Amino acid sequence: METETSIKIRGYHIDHFGHVNHARYIEFLEEARWAYMETNNLIALFHQTGIIHVVAGISVKYKRSARAGDVIIIKTHLEKAEPVGFTMSQDIFLGNILILEARITNVFIDINNQKAIAPSTALISGWPDLCNSYKKERTNNG
């Protein structure tokens, strides 16, 4: 399920133009993906199945800037399951205004040999969003 993470912008998040620094947004997005994993009980699932995931690509569009004192909301959901990985979609809102869009591509890695791997049945069945996305793919393709 999609999660929402709120973060209050502090003075130390801000650069000399009064904008949140780019690297800091990458951390905010990472914080929000951890929250998604926790809420969806995936941290234990990854541990049990011996499959981890690493980020293979990041694409970010900056639309508006946030300032000190603002509270931003990061909405995080699974965009799409892929043969050996998945893409997360993350949108940051300030009130109703979309200020940042991100797509994060991840690859599943077998923790034993550190190589890319297709997700096991246990992993798919324990992560409903992933399972539904694979079903949808199959339907579209067949």
Residue 84 contacts a copy of itself per CB under 8 A:
no
**HEC-encoded secondary structure of the chain:** CCEEEEEECCHHHECCCCCECHHHHHHHHHHHHHHHHHHCCHHHHHHHHCEEEEEEEEEEEECCCCCCCCEEEEEEEEEEEECCEEEEEEEEEECCEEEEEEEEEEEEEECCCCCECCCCHHHHHHCHHHHHHHHHHHHHHC
Residue 16 contacts a copy of itself per CB under 8 A:
yes
Q: Respond yes or no: is residue 15 known to be catalytic.
A: yes
Residue 46 contacts a copy of itself per CB under 8 A:
no
Write down the least CB distance from residue 30 to a copy of itself, Å.
5
Which residue in 2, 41, 48, 58 binds a copy of itself (CB under 8 A)?
Answer: 58
Which one of 15, 70, 91, 110 is the catalytic residue? Answer: 15
Residue 136 contacts a copy of itself per CB under 8 A:
no
What is the binding site for a copy of itself (CB under 8 A)?
A: 10-12, 14-19, 21-24, 26-27, 30-31, 34, 43, 54-62, 68-69
